[in-house]
Amino acid sequence: MSIVHFIDIVLKNVKGLIIVVLLSMTTMAFFSIVFMDKWYQSTATVVQPSEGLSSLSALVGKTELGSGLLGIGSTPGSQRYIAILNSRRLREDLIKSYDLINQFGVDSLDDMMEILEDNMLIDSDRKLGTISISLRHPKDAQLTAEMTNYAVQQLDRINREMSTEQARSTRIFIEERYNRALADLSSAEDSLNVFRKQFGIIELGEQTKVSIESMAGVLAKIEEANVEKDVLLKTAGPNHPEYLQLETKVEALRKLERKLFNGSPEIDLIIPFEKSPEITLKYVRLYRSVEICQRIVEFLVPQYEQAKIQEAKDTPTLLILDSARAADHSYKPRKTILVLLTGFIVALLWVGTLYFIDNIKSRLTSGNDPELLAILERLKLVRFLHLTNTEEKG
């Protein structure tokens, strides 16, 4: 069958085609308005706030560790927010707070979780540092907006609880190190005082003082790095890149410590401790212990104070750029697309049916297909096709 013949079939039945397509489109429009639920979508956008530095934070920032100790090893804000939004804890709370199981008419919490999985969208923009939270719900645009804003509130609440728990763990850890450092300092001072009472005060040369200060500085840095390592180990694990860097740093500092103690051509201006006279060496060691413990306490005091502040802080952990609002139009069904798609499909089916019928007529008219005629007669379709087989009647 040629294209021209196909077009001829369509043109002969164009009125019927138009009527059928219009009826189908009207029916679909009516069905979508009356019987299909309107789904609404609301979106809220949040961003992680930048950390402002308090005076204590600035003080801590002067140490080797810097003010980032308390947040070190924590999950980046956007990833943490996404993890919370995807958590069963937040979603179960949302389901129970709005009685979504009854609203959606499902049998179990797990069924509702699957529905929520399909209708809660989370989008992260790494360049802008924003996260968009979208929820979809049938029939009620205002309720959809309320649910979305509630999800944002729960995100902030859970994040604050997690931050407080992490800060508490860090504070306890630093508190233990701080108390131990105070005890070590007190013990070192007592030992030095006992020595001075027994042997008197020994005048140290300038180079020896430089050696002691250098050694104290190195050992204090080792202690600082070890504190940072321990915090990272608790919060991020031994495979964290910063943890591995700190291990390398500590190893380098340990090598420097051995050079200071044993002597090295690289640092010949400093007297090695092993070459000091016995009494002087003992005094140097006691004096050095006091210096080291004092440096460690100086480092831990601001860290400890900052840890207590972080634990007590209960401020919002995210900023809301855009709160969710009730949508003006439904998200689905998309009536225009449905109606046009229905008309297109019906038109294709109608034209295909006309082509099929015309093909059958042509085959029967030629009289070369008696089997087809017999099948149509059994199905009582000959009259429908307006065909008569005059040869068989004769």
Q: Are residues 7 and 47 in the same domain?
A: no
pLDDT value of residue 61: 41
More confident of the two residues 169 and 69:
169
The fraction of the chain above a pLDDT of 70, given in percent, is 66
4-8, 139-143, 339-343, 353-357: range with lowest mean pLDDT = 4-8
Give the model's pLDDT for residue 109.
Answer: 93
Are 306 and 345 within one domain? no
The CATH code of the domain that includes 131 is 3.30.1890
**Count of structural domains, the chain:** 3
- 182 and 279 co-located in one domain: yes
Confidence band of 290 (pLDDT split at 50, 70, 90)? confident
31 vs 122, residue with greater confidence = 122
Q: Are residues 101 and 21 in the same domain?
A: no
Mean pLDDT (whole number) for 167-181: 87
Question: Do 182 and 282 belong together in one domain?
Answer: yes
Q: Is residue 73 included in any domain, yes or no?
A: yes
What mean pLDDT do residues 15-40 have? Answer: 72
Whether residue 227 lies inside any domain: the answer is yes
Report d(CA 307, CA 178) in Å as an integer.
12
Strand order in the sheet with 120-125: 120-125, 130-138, 39-47, 319-322
Mark whether 137 and 96 lie in a shared domain: yes
Least confident of 24-33, 48-57, 83-92, 317-326: 48-57
Within a domain: 173: no
The reply to whether 105 and 49 lie within a common domain is yes
Q: Answer yes or no: do 269 and 360 share one domain.
A: no
Q: Do 225 and 64 touch, CB atoms closer than 8 A?
A: yes
Rounded to whole angstroms, what are the CA distances from 90 to 76, 109, 298, 327? 19, 13, 42, 23
pLDDT, residue 203, reads 59
Would you tell me how many other CB atoms lie within 10 Å of the CB of residue 232? 21
Indicate if the pLDDT at residue 380 is higher than 60: no
- 158 against 220, higher pLDDT: 158
State which residues form the domain around 74. Answer: 38-166+318-322
Q: Above pLDDT 90, what percent of the chain?
A: 21
pLDDT in tens, 117-148: 999 999 988 888 899 999 998 878 999 999 99
pTM (predicted TM-score) = 0.59
Q: 34 near 197, Cβ under 8 Å?
A: no
Residues 88 and 141 in one domain: yes
Note whether 273 and 340 are same-domain residues.
no
User: What's the pLDDT score for residue 306?
Assistant: 86
CA 16 to the chain's CA centroid: 56
Same-domain pairing of 68 and 100: yes
pLDDT score of 316 more than 70: yes
pLDDT of residue 393: 40
| CA atoms of 147 and 152, how far apart (whole Å) | 9
pLDDT higher than 60, residue 85: yes
Task: With beta carbons less than 8 A apart as the criterion, state whether 246 and 72 touch.
Answer: no
Domain stop point among 253, 277, 312:
312
Inside any domain, residue 171: no
Q: Which two tokens stand for residue 124?
A: 């992260």
Q: Which of helix, strand or coil describes residue 321? A: strand
State mean pLDDT over 291-319.
82
Q: Are 136 and 331 contacting, i.e. CB atoms less than 8 angstroms apart?
A: yes
The DSSP letter of residue 332 is: B
Question: Which residue did the predictor score with more confidence, 82 or 263?
Answer: 82
| 160 and 187 together in one domain | no
Q: Give the residue with greater pLDDT, 272 vs 176.
A: 176
The verdict on residue 329 lying in a domain is no
User: What is the model's pLDDT at position 201?
Assistant: 61
Q: What is the pLDDT of residue 262?
A: 61
Q: How confident is the model at residue 88 (pLDDT cuts 50, 70, 90)?
A: very high
Q: Give bridge partners of residue 137 from the DSSP assignment.
A: 40
Residue 61 included in any domain:
yes
- Residue 198 inside a domain? The answer is yes
The per-residue pLDDT for 394 is: 40
Identify the top-confidence range among 88-97, 250-259, 265-274.
88-97
- Identity at 88, one-letter amino acid code: R
Mean pLDDT, range 347-376, rounded to an integer = 66
Q: Which carries the bigger pLDDT value, residue 339 or residue 149?
A: 149
Would 232 be classed as within a structural domain? yes
Instruction: Please state the separation of Cα 221 from the chain's center in Å.
Output: 35
Summarised one tens digit per residue, pLDDT across range 92-119 is 999 999 999 998 889 999 999 999 999 9
pLDDT digits (tens, 9 = 90+) for 43-81: 999 987 765 433 334 333 434 444 444 444 444 568 889
